[in-house]
Amino acid sequence: MANFETVEVNTDLLIIGGGFSACGAATEAAHWAKKNGLKIALVDKAAMDRSGAVAMGLSAINQYVGLKDGENTVEDYVRYVRQDLMGISREDLVYNIARHVDSSVHLFEKWGLNIWLDEDGKYVHEGRWQLMINGESYKILIAEAAKNALAEAGGEIYERIFIVGPLMDGNKCVGAVGFSIRENQFYVFKAKAVFIGAGGAVHVFRPRSVGEGFGRSWYPPFNSGTSAYFTLQAGAEMTCQEVRFIPVRFKDGYGPVGAWFLLFKARAISAEGGEYMVVRKEELNNWAPYGLAKPIPANLRNYLGMLDIDSGLGPLYMETDEAIQKIASEFKDDPKAFKKKMKELESEAWEDFLDMTISQAILWASMNVKPEEKHSEIAACEPYFIGSHSGASGAWVSGPEDMDTPYKWGYANMTTADGLFAAGDASGASSHKFSSGSHAEGRIAGKAAIKYIIEKGTEPNVDAAQVEKLKTEILAPLDLYETHKGETTDPEINVNYIMPRQFLHRLQKIMDEYAGGVTAAFKTSKALLERGLELMGLLKEDSDKQAAGDLHDLMRLWENTQRMWIAESHIRTMLFREETRWPGYYFRADTPKMDEDNWKCFANCRWDPNTGEWEMMKKDIWTMPGV
């Protein structure tokens, strides 16, 4: 075995991840750590400047409540999320994020983010909760503030270190283990508290494009379920693992549709010209009360479009030309003003893509599409795990201390594992956070984690034998490859092991066919899920036969294992919830209706590290009084 040096890092607060929630945690925790003489270490598998889902930039901020202008109330946002998630929402968490998110947005602006302003100097809204931004460097700005904060607090940043999983002392999280993807080094982080904010999960299902286009996922391919794996392995309770998100976006390029629907007010139609939101309106009655309230939940909007597709009315189109012409027509009597308006609209339409989904701009250019002249196809994408957006999966976390709920057992955003905090995609049942809300939630968790360290922090008790066992297990795939690779003329094909990409294809095929992926039109059933679980069992047995030839592949390999675990929690939770509540996300063909009497509750789960058994449990929904 290659000789891997073990590098040990001792700190007070370990922040795992370098994206929006982790940067929020770092920026806030640094302030409190400094005041209390505490240390922080942040670890990112990439470089903070561009790591995570906002690598490319964003063209809008999707959560801004606007409290200072009296536009909306925090309670309005609680109602909005409850409605969009068909009643399944941790209203205390949503409330807490919504009352703090505006300050993250104002900080972003101070750091250098340009938020569009109108003639009166007010933020330009894309929609009720959304602001338009020039966001190509959005991540750089947020990372800069976090890096500066950590520097001021004497914190440490570790980049290109991949974290595999937690170190536990009973039910207490005492650190994490991983490895460098640049040097032969095994890393052991020991801490008094740990924050996990390492993104959601992509490529768990087979994507629509399977060649080079495999990389054109809607959420980034480098989000591999690290957060979910971490909290599952810690034995922490998880929530909403069944609530995957199906985005409907511009086809293949996956460019955003938010500006088109909300700002440009474009219509979406079928190939025969019908607007499915109008033509299929009756279907919404079957999903009352949510289907009958506004705004119509995202999954139901998806579902109406899917009904058109199922009936052979595809492709679906976004009428971009109609929308642009309509807006510019206001100036049709003044050719100069008309030309100016068209130029403005064109710039906004292209910036929308270039700031966050460059591939869609390339796709338009390659098809000679000018949005003011020609419409574009939209389609449902493959499934994603994204608790920060319109999905809801993540760890079950303790709520804010000043709210009287059944969900408090510790510090804000602490999981059921002691000293383990989660935010952003890592924390569940608090949908519609997006970039700003994830940052705000990170700040909430970062502060709470420091408070925990001050009040309860103890020197981490790490079992050296546990560390050695993990080191051997994590590095074993390198040995496996070295030992057997010479046996065949092509090292990729060997009966003794499976290479990371090959393993991933197998996982994705199981999920696609049995767990409601794209080729199944998002439909599944008890029988399909049980069969999927059987095949997953065989895959799990083979997972320690994954082999890697280098550090990059070793990372890819452990990312696959992380994906496999979130996949299993997903199948088990879809099986547990005996109804269909989000038909536009997944459809249980054997229980096709919503069952408010029995299933208006959270479907939680927990994997017990001591017994290896899964426990499924219902948890009550608490509704905010008077909201």
Partner 1 sequence: MPSYVITEKCDGCKGQDRTACMYICPNDLMVLDMDGSAGYGEMKAYNRDPQMCWECMCCVKLCPQQAMDVRGYADFVPLGASATPLRGTEDIMWTVKFREGSVKRFKFTTRTTPEGSADPLGGFSAHDDINNQALATEPASLGLDAVTTPN
Catalytic member of 12, 91, 92, 126: 126
Q: How far is the CB of 367 from partner 1 (least distance, A)?
A: 6
CB 439 within 8 A of CB 470: no
Burial 471-490 (b: 16+ CB within 10 A, else e): beebbbbbebbeeebeeeee
Q: Which residue lies nearer to partner 1 by CB, 55 or 307?
A: 55
Q: Which residue lies nearer to partner 1 by CB, 139 or 606?
A: 139
Q: How far is the CB of 490 from partner 1 (least distance, A)?
A: 17
Is 129 designated active site?
no
Q: How far is the CB of 508 from partner 1 (least distance, A)?
A: 13
Q: Which residue lies nearer to partner 1 by CB, 242 or 382?
A: 382
Q: Alpha-carbon distance 412 to 446, whole Å?
A: 9
Sign of CA dihedral 23, 25, 28, 29: negative
Is 352 designated active site?
yes
Q: Which residue lies nearer to partner 1 by CB, 40 or 529?
A: 40
CB 232 within 8 A of CB 417: no
Which amino acid is present at 501?
Answer: R
Catalytic member of 21, 51, 59, 62: 62
What are the beta bridge partners of residue 196? 16, 422
Burial 409-429 (b: 16+ CB within 10 A, else e): ebbbbbbbbbbbbbbbbbbbb
- Chain centroid offset of residue 128 CA: 22
Is 607 designated active site?
no
CB 380 within 8 A of CB 522: yes
Which amino acid is present at 591?
Answer: T
Catalytic member of 435, 494, 525, 569: 435
Q: How far is the CB of 388 from partner 1 (least distance, A)?
A: 17
Is 435 designated active site?
yes
Q: How far is the CB of 575 from partner 1 (least distance, A)?
A: 31
Q: How far is the CB of 63 from partner 1 (least distance, A)?
A: 14
Helix (H) or strand (E) holding 354: helix 335-354
Neighbouring residues of 263: CB distance < 8 A, sequence distance ≥ 6: 126, 127, 132, 348
CB 512 within 8 A of CB 518: yes
Q: Which residue lies nearer to partner 1 by CB, 211 or 335?
A: 211
Closest CA to 18 of 223, 210, 166, 203: 223
Catalytic member of 321, 352, 355, 425: 352
Closest CA to 243 of 101, 87, 93, 60: 87
Q: Alpha-carbon distance 169 to 375, whole Å?
A: 57
Q: How far is the CB of 451 from partner 1 (least distance, A)?
A: 5
Q: Which residue lies nearer to partner 1 by CB, 32 or 229?
A: 32
Is 137 designated active site?
no
Q: Which three-class secondary structure string do you get for 440-508? A: HHHHHHHHHHHHHHHHHCCCCCCCHHHHHHHHHHHHHHHHHHHHHHHHCCCCCCCCCCECHHHHHHHHH
Q: Alpha-carbon distance 249 to 377, whole Å?
A: 9
Q: Which residue lies nearer to partner 1 by CB, 276 or 481?
A: 481
Is 21 designated active site?
no
Which amino acid is present at 138?
Answer: Y
Q: How far is the CB of 132 from partner 1 (least distance, A)?
A: 12
Q: How far is the CB of 223 from partner 1 (least distance, A)?
A: 10
Q: Which residue has the tokens 């804010």?
A: 400
Catalytic member of 99, 244, 249, 267: 249
Which amino acid is present at 174?
Answer: V
Q: Alpha-carbon distance 204 to 518, whole Å?
A: 12
Q: How far is the CB of 260 from partner 1 (least distance, A)?
A: 18
Q: Which residue lies nearer to partner 1 by CB, 242 or 425?
A: 425
Q: Which residue lies nearer to partner 1 by CB, 41 or 574?
A: 41
Residue 603 exposure: Cα atoms within 13 Å on the Cβ side: 23
Q: Which residue lies nearer to partner 1 by CB, 119 or 597?
A: 119
Is 390 designated active site?
no
CB 164 within 8 A of CB 16: no
What residues act catalytically?
Answer: 62, 126, 218, 249, 352, 389, 435
